Structure 1
Amino acid sequence: MQHISEIDQLSGYPSIDTEVLRTFVAIADQGGFTRAGEQVNRTQSAVSMQMKRLEEDVLQRKLFERDGRQVRLTPEGQVLLGYARRILKLHSEVFNTLREPHMVGLVRIGTPDDYVMRFLPGILKQFSKAYPLIQIEMHCEASTVLMQRRDLALTVISREPGNDIGELLRTERMVWAAAPCFCVDEHDALPLAISGTDCLYTQWALAALDSVERDYRLAYHSSNGAAIQAVVSAGLAAMVSMESLVAEDLRVLGSDEGFPPLPSMNLRLLRNPLMTSPITECLAEYIVEGFKL
């Protein structure tokens, strides 16, 4: 009896170059051949020729529906897109593992949880694409707590200007924020939602209110940023936040409503000298670049 291996069975099929798959994914992501060509550094005509061969000679299936300058995937194209992303991910893993075997391991990083919502998703997505075998363990705590830890390779913290340590990532304006339905004049003592009395945000908020002799009460207290956001969005209290973190459903409160100005905040990156490695330095570079956006 003749046994036919999987490799023998597959040998009858034409192969698909990974660069062709990369171009195909770029078209799906960009919605057109021209923009995809810019992404993969090919001319529009070269991209069209690649896709024509893929459709007619290799797969013998229609992959695109054209609507003017816009390009949409056919059902067959959607199927190929899922496979293409998986193939390219595996292709990247192979090269990262064999060419850079040291880029495998675990990195512990620390950051306040509000930074996770704003900055970290894009950074970690790009890093994971480039180095899929590196595991990242994230610890979300207040800056004052994170600074005391010695088990973190990289730490993002908040610092007041002039009290500088580590590497500056960006400077943020601090603002007062509340829901549109929050009526400042209804409260004799301003209700505040805070992360904790040891938080820089809280310390600056209370000092600013004391400076203008504005009465306040610490109405809601949580170490969870999402919980603070929910309370404020419900119109139950005001909060202090970095301007770039103010949600779309909130409004910034200014001096015309009796709110004093706040200092700027420096976001800084600390590297643990006892945990320096090619992995941590590479991730640190991604963090530095990501916080610029």
Structure 2
Amino acid sequence: MSSYPSIDTDILRTFVAIAEEGGFTKAGEKVNRTQSAVSMQMKRLEEDVLQRQLFERDGRQMRLTAEGQVLLGYARRILKLQSEVFNTLREPHMVGLVRIGVPDDYVMRFLPGILSRFAQSYPLIQIEVNCESSTQLLLRQDLDLTIVTRKPGDEIGQLLRQERLVWAEAQNAAIHEQNPLPLAMDGMACFCTQWACNALDARGRDYRLAYNCPSLSTIMAVVNVGLAMTAQLESLVPQDWRILGEAEGLPQLPLLNIMLVRNANKPSPITECLAEHIVDGFKP
């Protein structure tokens, strides 16, 4: 087997910082090193270890060469694996079960990425996901973390994201022209349904709850084939749908708050680690 020089992970961390910050000075601040120390690290990496030019100057910015772009991908993977090793082997207490509650609406849009990143960092932790409405989830005492939708002034817990409720229909449909409006919603117990109906009542627009759908996937199926329109958070609307508003004679809908509620009776390092991943995953 060929013998290659080793690359210090500290040097890789500096290299990634330069790529992300666009210069040695800002990168030095990020990794707590002087500009000269950063420069010496990169000179060693280019001349002694890899024997490849990794950067080229573009005005005041440092840009990666083709070889630098290749190294950046590997560097990020190496640093990520190093983090996983330490999280798994040096924190043996990070083993156990976390029960989270989340409305079905957010499962498809947000949860896959959050759980994937969390599993990579903490592969020994088991996650139990419970999908119910916000009202039902807040009644449960067995959940460690709960993601719920709340209206402004009725918040509880930590704000994850604020979004507007919007009207939407399939791109080639003209459901908004029908009278009464056929709606596909998650029943009258749902906050979104209540607010949508209240807005239509205030506008004096006739409507009917044509499809009472217990899940977002069912709502999407109904709307996709042009049977009804719906009101959903803007981030949940597929790109091939059309967002509607005042121009189509529909009332503006309110802003909603997505909140993260921790169970004060069941604090743990595991729960807090997952909470941090959830907060990051919901950032706009």
* Structure 2 length-normalised TM: 0.74
| Superimposed CA distance per residue, residues 41-69 of structure 1 (whole angstroms, 9 cap, x where no aligned partner) | 55666545423322332244x36475855
Q: Distance in 1 between matches of 2:21 and 2:205?
A: 54
SS of residue matched to 1:147 = helix
- Greater CA deviation, 195-204 or 120-129? 120-129
Q: Which residue of structure 2 lines up, in the alignment, with residue 51 of structure 1?
A: 42
What amino acid sits opposite 1:21 in the alignment? L
| Superimposed CA distance per residue, residues 212-251 of structure 1 (whole angstroms, 9 cap, x where no aligned partner) | 4433233444333244345445654321122444444444
Q: Distance in 1 between matches of 2:47 and 2:139?
A: 62
User: CA shift at 1:71, angstroms?
Assistant: 1.6
Contact 1:184 1:257 in 2 (8 A): no
Q: 1:199 to 1:93 in 2, by over 3 A?
A: same
SS of residue matched to 2:187 = coil
User: CA shift at 1:279, angstroms?
Assistant: 1.9
User: CA shift at 1:173, angstroms?
Assistant: 3.0
SS of residue matched to 2:166 = strand
| Superimposed CA distance per residue, residues 126-149 of structure 1 (whole angstroms, 9 cap, x where no aligned partner) | 656765654444333322332344
Q: 1:15 to 1:261 in 2, by over 3 A?
A: closer
SS of residue matched to 2:47 = helix
Which of 170, 173, 177 is the equivalent residue of 2:168? 177
- Greater CA deviation, 34-43 or 16-25? 34-43
Q: Distance in 2 between matches of 1:116 and 1:67?
A: 44
Which of 62, 71, 89 is the equivalent residue of 2:64? 71
**2:100 is the alignment partner of 1:109:** yes
Contact 1:33 1:48 in 2 (8 A): no
Q: Which residue of structure 2 lines up, in the alignment, with residue 156 of structure 1?
A: 147
Q: Which residue of structure 2 lines up, in the alignment, with residue 262 of structure 1?
A: 253
Once superposed, what is the RMSD of the aligned Cα atoms?
Answer: 3.9
What amino acid sits opposite 2:45 in the alignment? L
Q: 1:64 to 1:177 in 2, by over 3 A?
A: same
Which of 186, 196, 207 is the equivalent residue of 1:205? 196
User: CA shift at 1:155, angstroms?
Assistant: 0.5
Contact 1:33 1:44 in 2 (8 A): no
Contact 1:63 1:77 in 2 (8 A): no
Contact 1:173 1:264 in 2 (8 A): yes
Contact 1:175 1:243 in 2 (8 A): yes
Q: 1:43 to 1:195 in 2, by over 3 A?
A: farther
Q: Distance in 2 between matches of 1:38 and 1:234?
A: 54
Which of 183, 193, 196 is the equivalent residue of 2:184? 193
What amino acid sits opposite 2:148 in the alignment? I
Q: 1:120 to 1:251 in 2, by over 3 A?
A: same
Report % sequence identity.
Answer: 62
Alignment of structure 1 residues 25-36 onto 2, 5 Å: 25-26=16-17, 30=20, 33-34=23-24
* Structure 1 length-normalised TM: 0.72
Q: Which residue of structure 2 lines up, in the alignment, with residue 5 of structure 1?
A: none
Contact 1:31 1:70 in 2 (8 A): no
Q: Distance in 2 between matches of 1:121 and 1:95?
A: 24
User: CA shift at 1:156, angstroms?
Assistant: 0.6
What amino acid sits opposite 1:275 in the alignment? K
Q: Distance in 2 between matches of 1:126 and 1:86?
A: 13
Q: 1:163 to 1:58 in 2, by over 3 A?
A: closer
Q: Distance in 1 between matches of 2:92 and 2:276?
A: 19
**2:233 is the alignment partner of 1:242:** yes
Q: 1:67 to 1:191 in 2, by over 3 A?
A: farther
Query: Could you list the runs of 5+ residues in structure 1 that have no partner in the other structure?
Result: 1-8
Q: Distance in 1 between matches of 2:33 and 2:223?
A: 49
Q: Distance in 2 between matches of 1:120 and 1:38?
A: 33
User: CA shift at 1:18, angstroms?
Assistant: 0.9
Contact 1:118 1:245 in 2 (8 A): yes
**2:275 is the alignment partner of 1:284:** yes
Contact 2:175 2:228 in 1 (8 A): no
- Aligned residue pairs: how many? 280
Q: 1:14 to 1:264 in 2, by over 3 A?
A: closer
Contact 1:113 1:224 in 2 (8 A): yes
Contact 2:181 2:208 in 1 (8 A): yes
Which of 9, 13, 18 is the equivalent residue of 1:18? 9
